Each structure stands twice: as C-alpha cells, then as structure tokens.
Structure 1
Amino acid sequence: MAKGSGKESADNMLKLYSYWRSSCSYRVRIALHLKGLNYEYKAVDLLNGEHYEPEFLKLNPTGYVPVLVDDDIVVADSLAILMYLEEKYPQHPLLPHDIQKRAINFQAANIVSSSIQPPLLFIWNHIEEKLPLFNDVIVKGFTALEKLLKDCAGRYATGDEIFLADLFLAPQIQQAFTMYNIDMTEFPLLARLNEAYNENPAFQDTLPEKQPDAPSQVSSTVLNQ
C-alpha cells in the first residue's frame, strides 16, 4: 500500500491492479505517489496469465494492466488513468500551465507509449532474435526524445518540476538500463534526467523491484508490458 495523504478510508481507497515489472503500472504508481494518494496494490501475475482470467477481464476486456478502481469507477490504460487522477485529484499537477510545454509533455508520452512500447511488445511475443531489434526501437525513440526535449528540459523533462513526460520517461529509461543494456552515453539528456529520477522518492519508492509481487531475485527475462 502506498503512503499518501491518508484522506481515503478503507472502504473507498483506490485500488491499483498492477504487475511489478509493468512500465505502464510504474507510471501510475509515480503519479499516485506525487499526488499523495493511498491505494491498495492488487497484483496481477502476467507470467501466469492472471490478466486473462474472467474476473480481471471484467475490469479490462483488453487484459492489460494497469487498472484503477476508484469506488464504482473503473479506469484502464495508463494515460487514461493519469488523466483521471489529474481531473479528480488536482494536487501536484501532471501538466504545466504553459500550452507549448503541455504539448511537449503529450508528445514525449506518445513517443514512449506509441513508438517504443508497442514494437517492443511485438518483438517480445513474435520474433526469435530479439535483442538487436529491441535496441533499434529504443535507440530510434530515444533519439527522437533527445531532440524533442533539448530546448525545454530543466532538472526534469520540461522544466524543474515533474510532469507527465517524466512519468513516461522514467520507466522506459529504467528498462533501457536493466533489460536492454542500452549505451546511454548516446543520450546525455535522458541520462541526466535518469539521475534526477534516481534522487527523487516518487520514482525510487515506486520502483518495480520494490513492489509486493516482485520476486526476491529480479530476473531480466520478464514481460515488458
């Protein structure tokens, strides 16, 4: 259970259906931490196919994590969840007021969620020689992110505060280090952002290996969902 503001009672506490290694779930955990929201962690074991069980498919027919349950409201898909949290729990905004920086945040999030993650999943599930293709996809996406953020980055992706782009970047960069052995010297801006994330409790307290369902010895041969 995350520690936040303590305002939610046991009856109406948020529930997050998550898998420890899911980068999509990691994004949401960071947001919940930033907004100081308590939640109950509901582990969904993707390796054992729990995301295809009828009970979970009632929550999300696509069979993906994360899923957020807020009383009688069910929201699936990490971006939809983040926007829901932003609307209902406005503390620590996830989007800047500046309209240009808001657009850049959405672009960065889209590069990760549309240009990097889906090809990685396809390669993982359908192609035998994975590593070279993994690297090609990540390098292409990271190159685009470096160019997108070079004129607006501060301590974080679009300034000196944590916004939506950072929630998408941190898990993807973390996986680049831990799963794909990407040479981050090619991406100095992203490497610098990763250092900032490593110093911030919102990112560190919600790391995959710190989740209740994480194995005692973390393996790199796990699903990248």
Structure 2
Amino acid sequence: MMASRSGDKNQLKLYSYYSSSCAYRVRTALNLKGLKYEYKAVDLLKGEQFSPEFTELNPIGYVPVLVDGEFIVSDSFAIIMYLEEKYPQHPLLPQDLQKRGINYQAANIVSSSIQPFQNIATLKYIEEKVGPGEDLSWAKHHITKGFAALEKFLKGHAGRYATGDEVFLADLFLAPQMHISIKGFNVDMTQFPLLSRLNEEYNKIPAFQDAKSENQPDNPLASAV
C-alpha cells in the first residue's frame, strides 16, 4: 500500500496518490516549507482508500491524509492550514487580510466548484448512470466553467503569481488543477491566457515540479524507468 521516500519515524507522513490534485496541493505546501515527509501511496484505482487501515485514518476514504506524530488530519485545505499554523517558514498566506480573502476565494473555487466534479468516484458514477464518455464531457464542462470564473476573478489581483508577486495559497490550488486539466482532460488553455501564464510560472518553481504526478514514487511510469 505504500511507497516511501524516507524511513525516519519522526518525519511527517503523507498518504497520497500520485495523480490526486488534492494531494498535489499538500505536496507543494510541504516542499515550499522545506518539510521532509514519508510518502505513503494509496492506490485509489485498487480501492485501497476503503481498506480498514486507511479508513481508520480518514473515515470518508479520501486522500490526502497527513500524520504528524500522534495527530492525524485529512482534507487538503485543512492540512495546508495546519501546516501554515505549525510551520511558519515560507508563509502560504499574506499578512494583508483582504489579500487573504482573495486567496481563500480562489482556492475555494478550485476545491468546491471544480475538483469535486472530476474526482474518481464522481466520474465513475456519471459513466455508470449516464453513459460511456459522458464522464469526460461532464468534467470538462465544470473545469472550463471554473476556469472562466478564475480568469475573470484574478484579473485584477494577479501579479507574477495568482494574487501578486509571491506564491500563496491560491497558487497551491491552481497549479495542480491546471496540470490535471491539461494532462488528464485535454482542456484547451488558450481560452484562459491569464491562467496559462500562471501555469508557465509554476512550471519554473522546483517545489511545484517535484510535487507533480509524474515525479511521485507510485506513478507507474516512474517505477518503470
């Protein structure tokens, strides 16, 4: 059930799946804060998220889950907020309250209005109830709707990154969403010039690069090399 990057028992443990955009957010946060962690792979396609071992950690059966000593926290937003409070290095939220609000809103557009419509359980349900191929059109519809909103919303706030010239919370949610939208759902990003420019910037940052699905130990292509 797990692939590991380290055997240090004192390190943080992250239960992750290589292509999960939610886990990608947390991997990026850990990288930006310079925190070492043990990578524990949960194969969602094999249903390992429903095993007694995993549901003991997260009863709803979703990744990611972070284990910090005796403390267990799941849901990417909650994990990132926990990391922000406990490990203050490289702040993921700006000091300015209004700018924080902008970051919360952009992150929530991704986490509430896009990602739930493309997760494995949702797509499987749509395919079974509606028909083969309908799952992809369903996902692309909600992705493009969310991206259109983000393109408009961030127009007055973006700098080099989503909310200015520093990497913050919004960027941690945008980068994985664009990555999976391009690689997994073939979304045409030319209709979103601002988001496309941001994606180019994220691709230059090692913390984002290292967190990508293709660089995880449980990626089948990575293990085959």
Distance 2:184 2:206 in 1: 22
Q: What percentage of residue pairs aligned between the two structures are identical?
A: 65
Cα distance, 1:2 vs. partner? 6.5
Distance 1:71 1:82 in 2: 16
Which one of 142, 151, 160 corresponds to residue 156 of structure 2?
151
8 Å CA contact 1:156–1:196 kept in 2: the answer is yes
Which one of 71, 81, 85 corresponds to residue 73 of structure 1?
71
TM-score normalised according to structure 2 size: 0.90
8 Å CA contact 2:91–2:168 kept in 1: the answer is yes
Cα distance, 1:118 vs. partner? 1.3
2:97 alignment partner AA: I
**After the TM superposition, which segments of 4 or more aligned residues of structure 1 sit over 6 Å from their partners?**
none
SS in 1 for 2:118: helix
Q: Deviations over 1:133-187 (max 9, x none)?
A: 2221111100110111101101110011110000000000011110111111110
Distance 2:218 2:93 in 1: 30
Q: In structure 2, what is the equivalent of residue 215 of structure 1? A: 220
Q: Identify if the C-alpha distance between structure 1 residues 74 and 195 changes in structure 2 by more than 3 Å, giving closer, same or farther.
A: same
Give the superposed CA RMSD: 1.7
Distance 2:136 2:41 in 1: 28
SS in 1 for 2:40: strand
Distance 2:122 2:53 in 1: 28
Distance 2:136 2:60 in 1: 27
Q: Deviations over 1:67-95 (max 9, x none)?
A: 00000010000000000000000000010
8 Å CA contact 1:123–1:133 kept in 2: the answer is no
Distance 1:176 1:104 in 2: 22
- Identify which range, 55-64 or 130-139, moves more after superposition: 130-139
Cα distance, 1:205 vs. partner? 1.1
8 Å CA contact 1:15–1:39 kept in 2: the answer is yes
Answering whether residue 29 of structure 2 is matched by residue 24 of structure 1, we say no
Distance 1:19 1:11 in 2: 21
Which one of 87, 90, 114 corresponds to residue 88 of structure 2?
90
Q: Within 5 A, what are the aligned runs for 1:1-225?
A: 10-121=8-119, 123-127=122-126, 128=131, 129-216=134-221
TM-score normalised according to structure 1 size: 0.90
SS in 1 for 2:15: strand
Number of residue pairs matched by the alignment: 213
Cα distance, 1:126 vs. partner? 1.6
Distance 2:61 2:143 in 1: 25
Relative to its length, the structure with more helix (as a share) is: 2
Distance 2:5 2:207 in 1: 11
8 Å CA contact 1:2–1:38 kept in 2: the answer is no
8 Å CA contact 1:104–1:148 kept in 2: the answer is no
